[in-house]
Amino acid sequence: MDKRYQALEAYMKEVNYDSSRLLNILHKAQQLFLWLPPDVLKFIAEKLNIPISRVAGVVSFYNFFSTKPVGRIQIKVCLGTACYVKGGDKVMERFLEELGLQEEGQVTEDGMFSVHAVRCVGACSMAPVVLIGENDFYGRMSPDKVPRLIKKYRQVAEKMKQEVGENA
């Protein structure tokens, strides 16, 4: 079995297959799979012994869960209030344009990038803020800083691809 499923099951066991922890479990699953494919939802429903409709209902309710593939590198542009009044929307637009994407949530053809709007990442004083991956924060962004950032992460992406290639 896929190692990711094993890790997911181990986590569910750790929390006693407690269905009130469904959100935490879905977070774990998304961490492992990057997004939530139908099979994973089915797996969770079976293990927790709850109807798949409940799992799917919860997933569709919350913005954080994605039922579509996302880029390996996710670019999150903050459109919280502070970032919005300081031009976060223009930063967003520039990312989409530079990556050739029509709208947020879409993934680039090579599967590497997707751009997402998020609401306040809690660094309002550095507005506008962009978060790349889990931990790379960029404060005081402006549209003209976008191309350079993309260049930087294209290199990261290349490395990731090579690593995958080497492992294959």
Angle between helices 52-61 and 22-33 (to 10 degrees): 80
Tokens in use for 1? Answer: 């079995």
**What DSSP assignment string belongs to 35-99?**
S--HHHHHHHHHHHT--HHHHHHHHHH-TT--SS---SEEEEEE-SHHHHHTTHHHHHHHHHHHH
Strand partners, 132: 75, 136
Selected binder of another protein within 122, 148, 166, 167 (CB under 8 A): 122
Please choose, from the candidates 154, 159, 165, 160, the residue with its C-alpha nearest in 3D space to the C-alpha of residue 75. Answer: 154
Q: Closest separation between CB of residue 162 and another protein, Å?
A: 25
What span, in angstroms and rounded, lies between the C-alpha atoms of 30 and 51? 19
Single out the residue of 55, 129, 141, 149 in contact with ligand FES (rule: CB under 6 A): 129
Q: Work out what residue 85 binds among another protein, ligand FES, none; the CB cut-off runs from 5 to 8 Å by kind.
A: another protein
CA distance 47 to 32: 17
Among 59, 75, 77, 78, binds ligand FES (CB under 6 A): 78
Q: Which of 7, 32, 52, 121 binds another protein (CB under 8 A)?
A: 121
Output the smallest distance, CB 14 to another protein, in A. 13
Using CB under 8 A as the binding rule, whether residue 108 contacts another protein is answered as no
Instruction: Judge contact between 78 and 86, C-beta under 8 A.
Output: no
- Is 124 an interacting residue with respect to ligand FES (CB under 6 A)? yes
Q: According to CB under 6 A, which one of 7, 32, 58, 121 is a site residue for ligand FES?
A: 121
Our CB check for ligand FES shows the closer of 71 and 80 to be: 80
Binding site for another protein (CB under 8 A): 19-24, 26-27, 54, 57-58, 61-65, 79-82, 84-87, 90, 93-94, 97, 118-127, 129, 134, 137-140, 142-144
